[in-house]
Amino acid sequence: MDSSHVSALQLKHAGLERQIHEEMSRPVPDAVVIQALKKRKLRLKEEIGRS
């Protein structure tokens, strides 16, 4: 995989991290949303690792 693809994946990963942090900062975090975001983030991390 080329470095621009890896960079794009890393940007998405950072964006998901930010979304998780924002959701957890809410007065009543939505556990379902957080779980879904974490799963997406893990898939991205695995894809980056394969690159």
21-29 mean pLDDT: 97
Question: If pLDDT is split at 50, 70 and 90, which confidence band does 2 have?
Answer: confident
pLDDT tens readout for residues 15-24? 999 999 999 9
Question: If pLDDT is split at 50, 70 and 90, which confidence band does 7 have?
Answer: very high
Give the distance, in angstroms, between the CA of residue 17 and the centroid of all CA atoms in the same chain. Answer: 5
Neighbours of 36 (CB within 10 A): 14
20-49 mean pLDDT: 97
Residues of the chain with pLDDT > 90, as a percent, come to 92
In angstroms, the CA 36 to CA 20 distance is: 10
